[in-house]
Chains A and B, each alone.
Chain A
Amino acid sequence: MPDDPRTPATHDIGGLARFHCTPVEHDEAPPDGFGKRVDALRQVLAQKKLMTVDELRRGIESIPEGEYFDLGYYERWLRSIAALMVEKGHVGPEVLR
């Protein structure tokens, strides 16, 4: 599939046919405790200049396609934040296991 030079990246889903018939569910719930904690952690790390929102996005975008669509929203964030903290040497790689 990625043989087509105009294939969008995984996260670049505007207009994607695979969701054409999926109704937009009225999911009004605020983030759960896990989501709020991940969100707050990201803000603290950004405040301390340890990561940017752009790095967060780059990390999310590098999640393999199968997992990208399988993981929850804040699970994708957490994956990215953890990978970034390891990449930048703030924590050891054992955190990821």
Chain B
Amino acid sequence: MSDAPRFAPGATVRVKDDWPERRGPCHIRTPHYIRGRTGQVVRPLGAFPNPEDLAFARPAPKRTLYHVLFAQEPIWHEGRAGDTVMVEVFEHWLEEA
């Protein structure tokens, strides 16, 4: 229940390769193209009530949100090396890599 962010800026993290939308009704804010991918924490953005709960009007404990940076080219196998995509990802979607 600690509010302290688990990951520090610069930490390498992997986004869980989880597909809850295939298991039934859900609402998630982790886009498909970063699942299973490794990126770097840019910075924690604060803690926010979990949208996965808010979407169903359930009690929504706060979760730390991070800006995570990914290299573009490995995701799409196209584009220019060095270009990046930065995505807001909740802590419960991240694991150490």
Contact = CB atoms under 8 A, between A and B. Distances in A.
Contact of B27 (A7, A8, A15, A57): A57
A9 B23 CA distance: 11
Given A5-B19, A15-B76, A62-B25, A55 B31 contact: no
Nearest to B76: A15
Interface residues of A, number: 17
A58 B33 CA distance: 20
A74 B54 CA distance: 21
For chain A, what secondary structure do more than half of its interface residues adopt (helix, strand, loop), or is it mixed?
Answer: loop
Interface in A1-60: 2, 5-9, 12, 14-15, 52, 54-55, 57-58
A61 interface: yes
Interface of A: 2, 5-9, 12, 14-15, 52, 54-55, 57-58, 61-62, 88
Contact of B56 (A6, A9, A58): A58
Given A8-B32, A12-B31, A12-B32, A58 B21 contact: no
